[in-house]
Amino acid sequence: MASTPTNPQPTPNANTQIRVQAQRRLDGAASVVFTPDLIYIVDTYTGNPNEIVMTGPTGIISPTLLPPSLNILLQTNSVDNIDQSLLNLKQGTNIVITADAFGGVTISASGSFSTSFGQITTGDNTTAAMTVDTGATLSYTNSGILNANEIGTINVTGNLPTHAGEILVSQPGNTTAVWADPQVQGLYAAGSSLAAPPAYTPPSTIQPILVGGEGPNGTLTNIQTTAAGTIIVVPADEQEAALILTFSANNGTTPLGVTTRVPVLSIQPQTGSTALSFLLRKLRVVGNGQKALFELVLNGTLTGATFTSVDPSSGVNFDTVATSISGGRVVDSGYINFAAQDPDYLLHFGFTGGTADIFTLVVTSMTAFSNPISASFRWTEEAQSL
């Protein structure tokens, strides 16, 4: 039977004390007489202060007070450990393992780590600034691809090439570059027409780059070469060389009576001429003493002209029947009186924009009387490179 305590104790501290009723043992048997007092057991466990282990009648911890028994399987990398009664964590290179007094284990890494380039997986990196320094190489092999949107800090993503032969051209500010056509003859095969280039096809051979210069009329002309590729040059002191052919044209034995402004004599290269170059060198004009003005006109518009061949070996035609002329550019002028005029020239002519050039001697009478005019041209034609 229970007894009433004679010295009641204050309410226990719920955080550190548990109130229990003690029982004496007599001769190994439990006494039916309870102590008249209640005692307090102080629990030093830092977790739940209300947990206290009690023993059964045999002095052994009661199984009902123990946590349920479970089978624990110890594995490493999903493989069962040989010893299932002991787990000893061991630190390796750059790995530090620290156990504390409360059952906690801390695993930390230190030092440098690296992996094979072939083990890197796909992903976006938005934070790292990666640099290939001296001694390191980032390259490709077989069909591998290295993509770049900048070359030497120059952005090259502005456009894509539209055909073969385009090159990257730096833009204003030198921070970007775009693909552009270099506009050189090398895009076409040698022998292609300059005025009407053919449709582009990828070249199968090395192509020359067109080199040009400014012609007498202010337009771009290409530097001509022989079939062997030698640049054509006609120095003035070689005008009588064996490869230079000299020709002359005139208005015949009957002088032309001039009372107004009249074209007296014209020369023009033949279409399809194989001559390499034409050079006007001499003009001669004479009258009967009546004063007149003469002009040497380039590419004037003639009325009534009929051009005929100068000679079977020449690449030039001439005309003496035109009745009038307009336009053109006057390249020389002078006056006729009692003496003949015979100026020397070194004037190139040929084909401008695919159209044959024309040199015309024009005479204008300065008196009321008819002035019988006779005139001639002398020029050279280069059939081959000197």
Compare 84 and 60 and report the one with higher pLDDT.
84
Which of 56-70, 101-115, 358-372: highest mean pLDDT? 358-372
- Which region among 11-20, 91-100, 201-210, 218-227 has the lowest average model confidence (pLDDT)? 11-20
Domain membership of residue 92 (yes or no) is: no
pLDDT at position 375: 95
Tens digit of each residue's pLDDT (9 = 90 or more) over 134-189: 999 989 899 999 888 999 899 999 999 988 778 898 888 899 999 987 755 555 66
Window from 34-38, 368-372, 380-384 with minimum mean pLDDT: 34-38
CATH number for position 250: 2.60.120.340
Supply the pLDDT for residue 199: 74
Range of the domain at 42: 17-54
Tell me whether residue 115 is in a domain.
Answer: no
Indicate whether 200 pLDDT > 80.
no
Does some domain include residue 131?
no
Tell me what the pLDDT averaged over the chain comes to: 79
What percent of the chain shows pLDDT beyond 90?
33
Instruction: Provide the domain count of the chain.
Output: 2
How far, in Å, CA of 278 to CA of 293, rounded? 26
Residue 151 lies in a domain: no
Asked if residue 128 belongs to a domain, the reply is no
Tell me: the pLDDT tens digits for 171-180? 888 999 999 8
Residue 217 in domain:
no
- 119, part of any domain: no
